[in-house]
Amino acid sequence: METSRVTSKGQTTIPRRIREAAHIHTGDLLSFRVDNQGRVIVELIDVPADDELAAVEETLREWSGPEDERAWAHL
């Protein structure tokens, strides 16, 4: 059994051994739910690459204006 303390902000660290066993990496998305016995279930969500790109698409658009095209044209 591994343990981890919860901070005043509700944050905790997933122990390395658990992260490695569950293949959890930086930037991964986790879901949390409580079962009918009060246990917290944490699951790794497998987000397809297309969904990840769609999530940042709006942010990427800010780099695609005419000014940006001129600035990057010589590279």
Please give the chain's pLDDT, 75 residues, in tens. Answer: 899 999 999 999 999 999 999 999 998 899 999 999 999 999 998 876 666 677 777 777 776 778 877 887 777
For the whole model, what pTM was predicted? 0.57
Domain chopping of the chain, boundaries = 16-72
What is the CATH topology of the domain spanning 16-72? Answer: Pemi-like Protein 1; Chain: D (2.10.260)
Cα-trace Rg, the chain: 20
Query: End-to-end alpha-carbon separation of the chain, Å?
Result: 54
